[in-house]
Amino acid sequence: MVMHTSKLILTKLLKQAGISINGNKPYDIQVHDDRFYSAVIGNWSLGLGESYMQGFWSCKQMDEMIHRLLTSNLDRKQLRWNNLPLLLHYLKSSFLNLQSMKRAFQVGQLHYDLGNTFFTSMLDPYMQYSCAYWKNAQNLDQAQQQKLEMVCQKLYLKPNDRVLEIGCGWGGFAAYAIKKYNINYTGISVTKEQIDYAKKKCRNLNANFKLMDYRKISGQYDKIVSIGMFEHVGRKNYADFFELAYQHLKDEGLFLLHTIGCSKTKIATDPWVHKYIFPNGYIPSYQQITKNIEGYFHIEDWHNFGFFYDHTLMAWHQNFSKNWSLHEANYPKDFYRMWEYYLLSCAGYFRAKKGQLWQIMLTKLGSQKKYISYRP
């Protein structure tokens, strides 16, 4: 009886998004196990992701299915506050600092330390794990190089600039910027695998990599850049983050912040993403950024190219699927379906414009720098 009721409710809900159960459209859901219905009705996005990992359902074009779900706003309609695990997730996010210093290294251990060989087979040669810039680009490699060059141009890099990168990843920006602009570079990360890789990649370059939390940075810099790290800072730490950037940026310096963002302030991140992909992550809103830079920075430029994240994620998924046989023996049985769901659901998220990608240029209050915005 409960199963039958769940099936009726979910079938009716999905119909609002133009999605059928066991239909003929490529974005229709094919159900292989009836436990799918109660899993989704009971836990919504968490249940949708977990039931996919368990093989309860499939979809030829999952990215488009998620896009349709989100544009119909079913995600908002079905938040069930009578579900205890979901309620606890949102309460924890509201009252606890999930991105405290003690927790800072958790995301590195769970996600970024999955193995450099794995990420190498999915990403471009510069190992950019953030949104590419696809204008006039024919492939992922070109799009990521265009992004790197755009960042350098926006920062007006010049020889011997002291540059700090908060969240240096695998050293791709460092390698590109040092070789082309001869900068004096420092990069930090909470991920040991990334730091080890970056040191090898840049071993003959003027680069200094440190395994440390951003709250431990020191020194003064001409330019500060953060590409795809701000999503791990958390709303309870935004004020401290911008204060630290202000303190360590020279008076006439430039700060580029590259981050995923959303139009509406959220209580917490998606529970499935929090549990399986990015523990303690949080996507900021316009309001949260502007509120917390007040008193520290001028906004010189705000560039939104979130529609390119859809292309980037689909390219990552193509590489991941093509190269999976090289890694299959090293990961749990459900890893492929988990990672596929992550990449394709995120592509649908950006296609639905639920998420954006912002590059924000900041100068310190009191700076007399006349900044001219750059667009390639």
Question: Could you list the active site residues?
Answer: 346
Say if residues 254 and 207 touch (Cβ distance below 8 Å). no
Cα distance between residue 260 and residue 359, in whole Å: 9
The two three-digit tokens of residue 194, written as one number: 């990334």
The two three-digit tokens of residue 297, written as one number: 């920075």
How many other CB atoms sit within 10 Å of the CB of residue 326?
A: 11
- Residue 190 phi, psi dihedral angles, 5° rounding: -100, 15
Cα distance between residue 283 and residue 277, in whole Å: 14
Half-sphere exposure of 233 (CA within 13 A, CB side): 30
Cα distance between residue 376 and residue 198, in whole Å: 28
Cα distance between residue 42 and residue 268, in whole Å: 19
Cα distance between residue 10 and residue 42, in whole Å: 11
Cα distance between residue 168 and residue 125, in whole Å: 15
Strand partners, 356: 261
DSSP 3-state of 225: strand
* Residues constituting the chain: 376
